Structures are given as structure tokens and as C-alpha cells.
Amino acid sequence: MSVKIFKVDSLPTGFEGLLADASKEGFSFLDKMKTAWESGSNKFNKQGELFLAAFVDGELAGVGGRSIDPHIENGLVGRVRHLYVSPSFRKQGVGKALVSEILKEAEEFFMTMRLSTENSGTSDFCKKVGFTEATKEHQTHFIDLD
């Protein structure tokens, strides 16, 4: 199995399938992201931002992005956004590959990357890929960039 990660400038082919998977699991964040993307309010196109799609054998397996953290005014803090891997591709390195690519070169733009999750499985995953737990408002995990 080979994971291929691409920076995308539009919602990738297969996104509706991921959206359906996320909805079945009770997650609404991809729906919110799609609405923001289509309205133009967030297209991950500011300096330092990006949106990625992960494919396995031509099938969309996951997505995730990096943006300026909207909860910090100085612009030096980034945020991991809308990270989601289809249940059928979990525990196969897709999430790790997405996070690795999100963090790649992030230090050129940000001092720290943060994220927020209420999901215990996601929290465990974040710790496995190097994030530290936090208890601040709008932040459950962070990683300082060197």
C-alpha cells in the first residue's frame, strides 16, 4: 500500500464519500469545512496554509489542512484543521503521512501548531505523532516547531 499526498486547490474527487463516512461517525467538521470552502471564507490560501488529500491506490483515503490559527491574533501559530481518515484506511499510515506533510515546512510560517479534538482516539493518535496535550481554550494539543 502506498499513500500519496497532494496539495489541493479544490475539494478532491471522492470528498463526498469522506463526508458521508464522517457524518456516519457523528463528525460535522468536514461538512463545516465544505461550506466554508464553497463560500470562499476558508480555502486554505493564506500564507503558510495548505489543504491536502491522501490517496491510496487512487481512492481518497483522507484529508487535512494547515491554517493560521483564528484564535491567536499574532499569526505565528498554525492550526491542524479538518484532519480525517476514512475508517477503512485507518491504522495504515494515512493519518501519520498527512500530519507529517502538514508539519513539513510549517516552521517557515509558524512557531507552534495547535489543534482541538474531543475524540479520545484522535487524542491518542496526536500524542503518537508528537503532539503534547494541552488544556487551553481552543486547544487540546500542540507541537512547538524548531
Q: At 48, phi and psi to the nearest 5? A: 90, -10
**CATH of region 3-105, choose from 3.40.630.30, 3.40.190.10, 3.20.20.140, 3.40.5.90:** 3.40.630.30
Q: Where in the chain are the domains?
A: 3-105
* Alpha-carbon radius of gyration of the chain: 14
Please tell me the predicted confidence (pLDDT) of residue 18. Answer: 96
Output the pLDDT for position 78: 97
Residue 139: what pLDDT? Answer: 93
CA distances from 26 to 20, 37, 51, 67, 88 (A): 10, 20, 22, 24, 16
Q: One digit per residue, pLDDT tens: the chain, 146 residues?
A: 799 999 999 999 999 999 999 999 999 999 999 999 999 999 999 999 999 999 999 999 999 999 999 999 888 999 999 999 999 999 999 999 999 999 999 999 999 999 999 888 899 999 999 999 998 889 999 999 97
